Amino acid sequence: MDHDQNFKNLILDYPREALAFFAEEEAEGIDNSVRVVPVRQEQLKERLGERFRELDVPLLVEWPDGSREALLFVLEEESEVRRFSIHRLAHYCLDLAELFGTDRVVPVVIFLRAGSYPRELILGGRRHTYLSFRYLVCTLAEIPFERYRESDNIVARLNLPNMRYPRERKVEAYAQAVRGLTRLEPALERQLKYLDFIDIYAGLDDNELEQYRYGYPEEAEKMTTFAERFRQQGMQQGMQQGEALVLVRQLKIKFGELPEERRLQIESADTQTLLEWSERVLTAKSLEEVLH
């Protein structure tokens, strides 16, 4: 399971919501006037032979009035506590501070599961401490799902299956995540994308899926119908793209390189029009005869 990629997509698709949920105590004041952008994941190298250190999702937060410096959030998702390295995280943050010339760095670590992990790194000698490093922690498995059951934050709603709940309320957590997705995300493509996210982390078995269909028949029917319709649209789009590619090749062979506007005309045509044009290629004496 590529948890890193799943959470990278989530954070990059919903950066403000991710900051509000994963780093609540530092995200106050990040409204629509604030610029939130992902920054390069590969750090600059001092020598060409060195390996890159790759961050999970660094975000640069900038306020328009200039009253506050750029604020960097470094979000790491660690699905296994034993893989987490506080030394590596501290190194990342120091690199970011140097790269962007700021001392305002907020490290946030997202843990899927509860566990024992170092919360602070202190380096020093017998007399003095020379480095003290801490980070914000979001351990999803320790958050009661009731706290975000009706939340308007889509990142929180999508993570309901990752939160803490009794076994008998697992289907409810799944249903509330799906309800949040359909209510808070208007784009159909993202609804399908994050329905997969919910399915992955809920992991309902056949019996639980049956409980969901029985207990939430309207939502279950809606999502099943939507997924099937989207799948069919994808198949039709794939067929259209394939037919357009074949027609472009046929026209190039017969009439030479196509003008850009003609190529765009072909790529935007529907399947029936492409079929008609393909039939004309056989007898047409010019490109205009085919595409009129």
pLDDT at 160: 97
Half-sphere exposure of 174 (CA within 13 A, CB side): 27
**Whose structure tokens read 């790194």?**
121
CA dist., res. 217 & res. 236, Å (int) = 29
pLDDT at 44: 44
- Domains of the chain, by residue range, sit at 1-141, 143-215, 239-291
Task: Give Cα 275 distance to the centre of its chain.
Answer: 38
Range 139-157 burial, b when 16+ CB lie within 10 A, else e: bbeebebeebbebebbbbb
pLDDT at 52: 43
Alpha-carbon distances of 94 from 23, 40, 72, 104, 251, rounded to whole Å: 19, 15, 11, 11, 57
pLDDT at 235: 57
pLDDT at 165: 96
CA-wise closest residue to 153 among 14, 12, 9 = 14
CA dist., res. 145 & res. 136, Å (int) = 20
pLDDT at 144: 97
47 φψ region: left (φ > 0), alpha (ψ -120 to 50), beta (else): beta
pLDDT at 53: 45
DSSP 259: P
DSSP 50: S
The pLDDT tens digits for 51-68 are 444 547 788 888 887 655
Alpha-carbon distances of 84 from 5, 6, 120, 149, 169, rounded to whole Å: 17, 18, 13, 29, 30
Mean pLDDT per 10-residue segment, the chain (292 residues): 81 91 85 79 45 63 70 67 84 85 87 87 94 92 96 97 95 94 88 88 89 82 63 61 76 75 80 81 82 80
The pLDDT tens digits for 120-171 are 999 999 999 999 999 999 999 999 999 999 999 999 999 999 999 999 999 9
* 146: helix, strand or coil: helix
pLDDT at 166: 95
**Whose structure tokens read 């099937």?**
228
CA dist., res. 63 & res. 33, Å (int) = 7
CA dist., res. 103 & res. 78, Å (int) = 25
**Whose structure tokens read 């029917």?**
221
CA dist., res. 89 & res. 76, Å (int) = 9
pLDDT at 50: 45
DSSP 43: P
3-state helix, strand, coil in the chain (%, to 5): 55, 15, 30
Burial of 7 per CB tally in 10 Å (0-12, 13-18, 19+): buried
pLDDT at 229: 59
